[in-house]
Structure 1
Amino acid sequence: MLLFVYGLLRKREEKHELLKGAPCVCEQAAINGVLYKTDKGQPAASLAETAFVYGELYETDHQMIRKLDAHYADFDRKEVAVTTDVGNKTAFAYVLKPEQCASFSRIKSGDWKEYRFMKREDDSPVYYFAYGSCMDNARFKQAGVDHFFAEPVGGAVVEGYSTRFTLRRPDGSRADLVEDGGRTEGVLYKLPFEAATYLYKREGVDNHTYRPAFIEVCAGGRVYRGCLTFLVLDKAEEIAPPGHYQEEIERGADLYLSPAFSEKLKRYMNSLPKM
């Protein structure tokens, strides 16, 4: 029995313990709905066709569902269609009726983790995983923000994801991170929080080009959890990236990635169909 979770049941959230033992099917999942912050400070979603709510998908059993039903007695457990990178699935989710949310504040991003990230009040560093052109610093220098990226942790590995090229543009594609069970490499940066403003603009978050997401990254023998990255929203069939964009990726790959993965990435880009 699949369960879609979008709030405090997600990884590293305060009620995730209620899912102890439940395998995570995918970290990047979405349903049609609207996300709200309730008067209790926790999130709630209502079903709607006009927007998306982002979350995670878990394999549960009837015993766990009975416990969750009791815990979320004020919610309706509804069957929902879930979008993932490997196809659509059917799951259950705990949601409220739209009229129950009338007095709540809407979370426009549809992502509780992103909302919490942007509302943070501490000055702790942000760890950002780059897998495309942001592995190269040429455009950081052009924009005058290279000082934000002066502390790269170094080459990093992400399990469960592959680097793909699903964002179509008139001159070719741009990179994406797809949760398909693969393994990819990139660069992990340690950044001040103010660097997020530049990254959001560069990645076209307000234009719904990429969306922020938070993943687990391994670098230098250490696991970094909740690292910021950006995923393509409207994924299209892959085509080759333009030459200037591929050059940026290759410069970053040669500097940070393992030789084997760097060569594999170059071959993959060259194998993609041209415009």
Structure 2
Amino acid sequence: MGQLVFVYGTLRRYERNHHLLEDAKLVSQQAWTKGRLIDTGYDYPAMLLDNDDHVYGELYEVDHDVLKQIDKLEGYQGISETDHYQRTEQLVLSDLGEFKALLYYYPKEVQNTEEIPFGDWRLKKLLDQGTPHYFAYGSCMDHERIEKAGMLTQFKTLGLGLLPEHELRFTVRADDGGRADIVEMSGHQVEGIVYEITEQALKYLYNREGVI
């Protein structure tokens, strides 16, 4: 077995350095670990280990040669005085289980940096491009409920959506029953509706779904 590595920035899918992982095994595309994510201002993030917030990313199994390439990209040689990033092993969680994985982090805060909302670099990049398309499943496809909130005109239906490698489950408990959720699961797919939404609709969804 190779080495597990958790990535949260430019090594993620669709980011500019992902080509270094194109031959690596994707273990989980929805993984998270404890820490805090900051924007360096140079079009890449840095992770800090100074609190118990969540940082979201992807988990890969890499061989020795790929790990050396990542070390080079991150400026890591194992010499703390000159390394750009430090490297450590930390517990990473996903819908598929818990894993011990390497990750790269900054040892201390950098001046004049902003924290990345929700600890998710991919989400930040999407929001920087404008309001993203929205994939709805479960009660979020209930037009009557959205209309009662006066928000239906903020949702434009684009068509049927299929989310591969995920499964629909009822994992969230409430007084009136369960709530639909999607979890990562190989060989499954979730059906839903893809919408073009406005910024106002995004705020409505954040409030409805309890996004903090």
Superposed CA offset, 1:154-189 (max 9, x none):
322211101111111122111111012222211122
Amino acid at match of 1:34: R
Amino acid at match of 1:89: F
Partner-residue secondary structure (3-state), 1:101: coil
Q: Scaled by the length of structure 1, what TM-score is found?
A: 0.68
> 1 CA distance for matches of 2:97 and 2:167?
15
Partner-residue secondary structure (3-state), 2:52: strand
> 1 CA distance for matches of 2:109 and 2:43?
15
Amino acid at match of 1:146: L
Q: Is 1:176 aligned with 2:178?
A: no
Partner-residue secondary structure (3-state), 1:144: coil
Q: Scaled by the length of structure 2, what TM-score is found?
A: 0.88
> 2 CA distance for matches of 1:94 and 1:75?
6
Among 161, 185, 188, the residue aligned to 2:166: 161
Q: Is 1:138 aligned with 2:138?
A: no
Amino acid at match of 1:180: M
> 2 CA distance for matches of 1:77 and 1:85?
24
Q: Which residue of 2 aligns with 1:3?
A: 5
> 1 CA distance for matches of 2:41 and 2:182?
35
Among 35, 41, 45, the residue aligned to 1:43: 45
> 2 CA distance for matches of 1:185 and 1:26?
20
Amino acid at match of 1:119: D
Superposed CA offset, 1:24-72 (max 9, x none):
2111100110101114242000224421100011121110111111111
Structure 1 unmatched runs, 5+: 207-275
Q: Which residue of 1 aligns with 2:202?
A: 196
Q: Which residue of 2 aligns with 1:212?
A: none
> 1 CA distance for matches of 2:133 and 2:125?
15
Superposed displacement of residue 107, structure 1:
1.8
> 2 CA distance for matches of 1:184 and 1:119?
27
Q: Which residue of 2 aligns with 1:221?
A: none
Q: Which residue of 2 aligns with 1:111?
A: 120
Partner-residue secondary structure (3-state), 1:68: helix
> 2 CA distance for matches of 1:169 and 1:3?
35
Partner-residue secondary structure (3-state), 1:199: helix
Conserved? CA contact 1:126–1:193, under 8 Å: no
Partner-residue secondary structure (3-state), 2:126: helix
Conserved? CA contact 2:172–2:178, under 8 Å: yes
Q: Which residue of 2 aligns with 1:87?
A: 97
Conserved? CA contact 1:53–1:111, under 8 Å: yes
Conserved? CA contact 1:32–1:48, under 8 Å: no
> 2 CA distance for matches of 1:41 and 1:86?
30
Q: Which residue of 1 aligns with 2:54?
A: 52
Partner-residue secondary structure (3-state), 1:65: helix
> 2 CA distance for matches of 1:61 and 1:132?
40
Partner-residue secondary structure (3-state), 2:69: helix
> 2 CA distance for matches of 1:166 and 1:2?
27
Q: Which residue of 1 aligns with 2:78?
A: none
Among 78, 96, 99, the residue aligned to 2:88: 78
> 2 CA distance for matches of 1:108 and 1:48?
16
Structure 2 unmatched runs, 5+: 76-83
Q: Which residue of 2 aligns with 1:271?
A: none
Superposed displacement of residue 153, structure 1:
2.4
Higher relative contact order, chain-length normalized (CA < 8 Å, sep 6+): 2
Conserved? CA contact 1:35–1:44, under 8 Å: yes
Paired positions, count: 201
